[in-house]
Amino acid sequence: MNWEEKFLEEIESIAAKHNMKEHRAFLFWYIKATDTDDRSDEDILSNCIVDRSNDAAGDAILISHKQKIIKIIQSKFTRAINQNAFNKDELTKVTKINDYIEGHSDYSKLRQYVHAKMKDILDDAVRYVKDSGYSVKLIFITTNKNNPNQRIYNDHEIEIVAGGKIQRLFEEWERGHTPELGEISFSYLDIMEGPREPRSYIVHFNTDTIRQAYLKWKEKLFSKNVRIFYGYSKKANVSMKKTLIDQPTSFWYFNNGVTILSNRVSLDSKSKKISLQDPQIINGCQTITTIGDNKLSESTILAKIIEIGDTEVNQDFIDGIIEANNRQTPVDERILKSNHPLQVKLDRDLREWGYYYERKEGSYRIEKVKDVTIRRLEKIDNKELLQANFCLVRPPHMSLLDENDLFSTYYNDVFRTDKTVADYLIPHLIHKKIWHIANNYHAGTRNSFYKLASFHITRIVFDFCEELRNAKTMHDLRRDLEEGRKQLDGRTIKELLNLIYKLYKKSDYVEKYAGQRDYFKSAQTYQEIKDAIPKWLMRNLEGIIVDN
């Protein structure tokens, strides 16, 4: 099944669930796939989607208080995906409503025309733009392909999400979204009950019952499996295939089995059937794919099935199960955390602000080849973002710990549900600017030293500069730094670099092998630096954010 067929199935499923037309289901899907404010289904249906007669060409209006953005979405759905170019007039429609909201046209005229529901939402949007400085973002989404002349008509910087982008967004949706598969029944050979909190089972299946489920649902069964985009062993695949064909009765002995999570488990002992609600195979993706892609076999397999609701309350336990079940062969902790809901959400949030958040090493290199818009995004490596944030909540020398330690033992120190995207982004931007200044100082002769020092300097800057700790101004500061209205005072950073280098030269580490790294990995170094800062430099650090 190609992506277009899978996508249309998803739209049909959404339409059936919410009793809506497919064009509305398409709009609903896009909002769910890109939303950064965690809106409920009901909120999207009641307060965001406004398409009907007298909608002024605005099919949905989203007010994002987290990002201070008003999103106006116009949509055009067709089942003939990528067959024809979209009509250029669609772009003209969406620009008109923007002119009213931003005050370029008389808003009272628009208000008289639109329906009551849209009127209330537009009133709020106009107020936020006028009184709170919210920006307006225009978006046109369509399953048609791009119009070759769209640049000529797109003079309002409308974000166009057409066929190719829809494909990549859908692929990301499948990776970060737990599909609603409904109840799937499997025939079993034998079953044994395990622990009851949560309920669990060891089940003996004929591989064909698993194969049939895979042939129907494919990758939707693996949305929570961290290995699906990590790569498989060709040698293991060949060996597994050979066993399935030549030694089917040995497959049970040679294979470790699979692990499945399910929102609800129902048993029918008479018919020997087990029904799983929205099942997810979290370990054994390679096994199931090999079984599914090969001919029917008389082999059997063991499955560990755990009944646990996919809710925020259970998230830590679910993460623990996924990580433990994927440590049978080496997997980097960064990969294990890549599908964590906070990582997926941060990925989506940062794209709204023009960044590509690389959760899995190498993904940016692959994605930018597929999509020209990805190339326009600025890459943020999630390890670098973690380190820049980590040095503010723990002693800065700990940011130099091994990557696996950072993403396992200390992951929750940085990634928390009570943080905003700006809370993550500001430390990264400051650290990046510090490194840029340091990297161009002394013509690169001390680059490795300054790189190691950058986390200590980031912590010092945040300790002394109150503006960086003011949550109320964080959003505006982020925008000022990105757009160049404000910057770090380079002279102050250089004075701090000189001070730290002199302290190192006087230390016992200077004559040692790997002395620079050991100096900055010492728990005493940060306090030694802080104590050595003269008062005049402290004052400069307090006002280190300056107008450009």
Mean confidence (pLDDT) of the chain: 85
Distance CA 233, CA 213 (A): 23
What's the pLDDT tens digit per position in 449-477? Answer: 999 999 999 999 999 999 988 877 788 88
Q: Which DSSP state fits 487? A: E
As a whole-number percent, the residues of the chain with pLDDT over 70 amount to 90
Distance CA 444, CA 293 (A): 53
User: Please, which pLDDT band fits residue 231 given cuts at 50, 70 and 90?
Assistant: very low
β-strands 258-262, 355-358 pairing = unpaired
pLDDT average, residue stretch 93-103: 76
Cα 145 to chain center, whole Å?
Answer: 26
Of 81, 86, 72, 77, nearest in space to 27 by CA:
77
User: Please, which pLDDT band fits residue 430 given cuts at 50, 70 and 90?
Assistant: very high
Say what the alpha-carbon torsion angle 396, 402, 408, 413 is, to the nearest 10 degrees.
10
409 and 464 Cβ atoms separated by less than 8 Å: no
pLDDT average, residue stretch 80-89: 88
What's the pLDDT tens digit per position in 235-260? Answer: 557 788 888 989 999 999 998 899 99
- Secondary structure class of 223 (helix, strand, coil): coil
Distance CA 128, CA 71 (A): 12
Provide CB contacts within 8 A for 155, sequence distance 6+: 95
User: Please, which pLDDT band fits residue 317 given cuts at 50, 70 and 90?
Assistant: confident
Q: 């209330």: which residue's tokens?
A: 120
The pLDDT of residue 230 is above 50? no
The domain locations on the chain are 3-176, 183-329, 335-547
Distance CA 521, CA 400 (A): 7
3 state SS for 153-165:
HCCCCCEEECHHH
Instruction: Return the pLDDT at 21.
Output: 92
Distance CA 236, CA 242 (A): 10
3 state SS for 50-82:
CCCCCCCCCCEEEEECCCCEEEEEEEECCCCCC
Distance CA 147, CA 298 (A): 52
Of 271-275, 420-424, 531-535, the least confident:
420-424
What's the pLDDT tens digit per position in 364-405? Answer: 888 888 777 788 899 999 999 999 999 999 999 999 999 989
Of 357, 317, 320, nearest in space to 337 by CA:
320
Instruction: Return the pLDDT at 399.
Output: 95
Q: Which DSSP state fits 85? A: B
Of 90, 97, 154, nearest in space to 126 by CA:
97
Of 300, 212, 308, nearest in space to 261 by CA:
308
Count CA atoms within 13 Å of residue 271 on its CB side.
9
pLDDT average, residue stretch 2-25: 90
Q: Which DSSP state fits 339? A: T
How many residues does the structure list for the chain? 548
Say what the alpha-carbon torsion angle 497, 499, 505, 507 is, to the nearest 10 degrees.
-120
**Helix (H) / strand (E) containing 275:** strand 273-277
Distance CA 478, CA 95 (A): 27
Of 122-136, 202-216, 238-252, 315-329, the least confident:
315-329
Burial readout 270-289 (b: 16 or more C-beta within 10 A, e: otherwise): eeeebbbbbbbbbbbbbbbb
pLDDT greater at residue 468 or residue 171: 468
β-strands 486-488, 545-547 pairing = antiparallel
Q: Please name the amino acid found at residue 447.
A: N
